[in-house]
Amino acid sequence: MYYKMTLEDKVRVPPNRLGEDLEKVILDVLQEQLEGSITKEIGIYIAVTKVLNIGQGELIPGDGAIYYDVRFEALVLRLALQEVIEGQVVETTGFGAFVSLGPIDAMLHVSQISDDYISYDEKNARLICQESKRYIAVGDGIRARVVALSLNEREPRESKIGLTMRQSGLGTGRWLEEELEREKERGAAHGGA
Amino acid sequence: MESYTRYERARIIGARALQLSMGAPLLINTVYTEPLEIALEEFEHGVIPITVKRK
């Protein structure tokens, strides 16, 4: 889920930027430092939006920079296990599909796509369900559940997020529409009887 | 201007000289080129934006 958070941190303002507007410098430093980074407790930083409050600066021996206590507002994505999320397929391979969740990509393994047998159509870059003939292609919007979460704070790109679609209500937009249609037909048949 | 002990004076001028040497903008017009000399002159003029927190 996405959160708009108010956070506090110490910010180092380098001396060569002292002549400029302090609020702007601090916002720059925070954006440079945090955007795209990951912490386990907070999540994935997407943007630092606003500086709310700048405390008194402090000088530390041996460093010409000034350290300010700053309260600021940031937009973060914090994923939780079992959370249902929506994303877009950005790449398909023989072992599954990569799904973009916005700031980070997640992995949807072939074994977690459907109860069907899945085969990979290399020419069209599609993963095809053998029985139902449904398929997943690059660009499809999907709804899936987070089942594995391994965030790497040092190397955000090395983080691994596993998804599943083997549950009712999960799948690509097209599957969900088909499912809804079927559901409606069944409902109508029951109503008539 | 507030009066400082010689230790505080050294700390303030030292910190300011380091800032200047790392590229901080000058607060006075000066003929000096050495950060330490500039810091001393700024201190004499009382324009250094540094205060001492006494415990």
Task: Give A57-79 pLDDT, tens digit per residue.
Answer: 999 998 989 999 999 999 999 98
The DSSP output letter for A57 is E
Query: Percent of chain A scored above 90 by pLDDT?
Result: 40
Q: What's the token pair of residue A114? A: 């459907």
CB of A112 closer than 8 Å to CB of A147: yes
Tokens of A151: 């965030």
Dihedral of the alpha carbons of A128, A129, A135, A136, in degrees to the nearest 10: -80
Tokens of B26: 């000058």
Name every chain A residue with its beta carbon within 8 A of the beta carbon of B19.
15, 18, 64
Number of A to B CB contacts under 8 A, please give it: 26
The model's pTM is: 0.76
List pLDDT tens digits, range A106-163.
999 999 988 888 888 888 888 888 888 888 889 889 999 999 988 888 888 888 999 9
- Angle formed by the axes of helices B35-45 and B6-21, to 10°? 130
Partners of A63 on chain B (C-beta within 8 Å) are: 18
Query: What is the ipTM metric for this complex?
Result: 0.84
Q: What is the pLDDT of residues B8-53, one digit of tens each?
A: 999 999 999 999 999 899 999 989 999 999 999 999 999 998 889 8
The bridge status of strand A84-93 relative to strand A66-77 is unpaired
How many Å lie between the alpha carbon of A19 and the closest alpha carbon of chain B? 6
CB contact under 8 A, A15 and B19: yes
Are residues A18 and B18, on separate chains, in Cβ contact within 8 Å?
no
Q: What is the pLDDT of residues A7-18, one digit of tens each?
A: 999 999 999 888
B6-45 is a CATH 1.10.357.10 domain = no
Hey, which residues does A67 pair with through a beta bridge? Answer: A12, A58
Chain B contact for A19 (CB, 8 A cutoff): yes
Residue boundaries of the structural domains of chain B: 6-45
Q: Residue B21: its chain A contacts at CB < 8 A?
A: 64
